[in-house]
Amino acid sequence: MGRTDVNNLKRHKMKKEHVLNCSFSSWYDRFKDLTIKSVVLPLPQEFIDYLHKDGVVLPEGSVQGSSQSRPEDENDDDDDVDWGSGSAAVAVAPEFPEFERLVKKAIQKLGGRVFPKLNWSAPRDATWISFDKTLKCTCPSDVYLLLKSSDFIAHDLSQPFLHCSDCDLEMARADVKYDLILRRWQDLQPGMEFRCFVRNKKLIAISQRHHIQYYAFLESQKDEIISDIQAFFYHMISNKFPDESYVFDVYRKDKGHLTLVDFNPFGEVTDALLFTWEELANDSGELKAERPEFRFLQSKDGVQPNPFAYFAMPRDFVDLAAGEDPYKLMDLLHLKVQTSTSENTSSDEDTTS
**From CA 250, how far away is CA 232, in angstroms rounded?**
9
Q: Are residues 137 and 34 in the same domain?
A: yes
How high is the pLDDT of residue 286?
Answer: 78
CB atoms within 10 A of CB 174: 6
Cα 124 to the chain's mean position, in Å? 5
Is 326 a domain residue?
no
How high is the pLDDT of residue 84?
Answer: 46
How high is the pLDDT of residue 81?
Answer: 46
How high is the pLDDT of residue 69?
Answer: 47
**From CA 105, how far away is CA 341, in angstroms rounded?**
24
Q: Are residues 117 and 242 in the same domain?
A: no
Residue 285 belongs to domain spanning: 188-302
pLDDT tens string 55-91: 667 776 666 555 554 444 444 444 444 444 444 445 5
Q: Are residues 33 and 170 in the same domain?
A: yes
Is 321 a domain residue?
no
How high is the pLDDT of residue 260?
Answer: 98
How high is the pLDDT of residue 273?
Answer: 96
Is 86 a domain residue?
no
Which of 144, 159, 186 is the C-terminal boundary of a domain? 186
How high is the pLDDT of residue 58?
Answer: 75
Is 308 a domain residue?
no
**From CA 150, how far away is CA 306, in angstroms rounded?**
17
Is 168 a domain residue?
yes
Is 159 a domain residue?
yes
Q: Are residues 257 and 173 in the same domain?
A: no
Question: Which stretches of the chain drop beneath a pLDDT of 70?
Answer: 1-12, 55-56, 60-93, 168-174, 302-353
Q: Look at the chain and report how many structural domains it folds into.
A: 2
Which of 164, 186, 208 is the C-terminal boundary of a domain? 186
**From CA 162, how far away is CA 62, in angstroms rounded?**
33
How high is the pLDDT of residue 212?
Answer: 86
Q: Are residues 54 and 127 in the same domain?
A: yes
Which CATH number fits the domain that encloses residue 247?
3.30.470
Q: Are residues 111 and 258 in the same domain?
A: no
What are the strands, taking DSSP E only, across 142-201?
Answer: 179-184, 193-199
Q: Are residues 63 and 111 in the same domain?
A: yes
Which of 165, 186, 207 is the C-terminal boundary of a domain? 186
Q: What is the DSSP letter of 234?
A: I
Q: Are residues 181 and 55 in the same domain?
A: yes
Is 322 a domain residue?
no
Q: Are residues 49 and 163 in the same domain?
A: yes
Q: Are residues 50 and 170 in the same domain?
A: yes
How high is the pLDDT of residue 80?
Answer: 47
Is 194 a domain residue?
yes
Q: Are residues 177 and 271 in the same domain?
A: no
Answer whether 258's CB lies under 8 Å from 229's CB.
yes
What are the strands, taking DSSP E only, across 210-271?
Answer: 246-254, 257-265
pTM: 0.77
Q: Are residues 173 and 276 in the same domain?
A: no
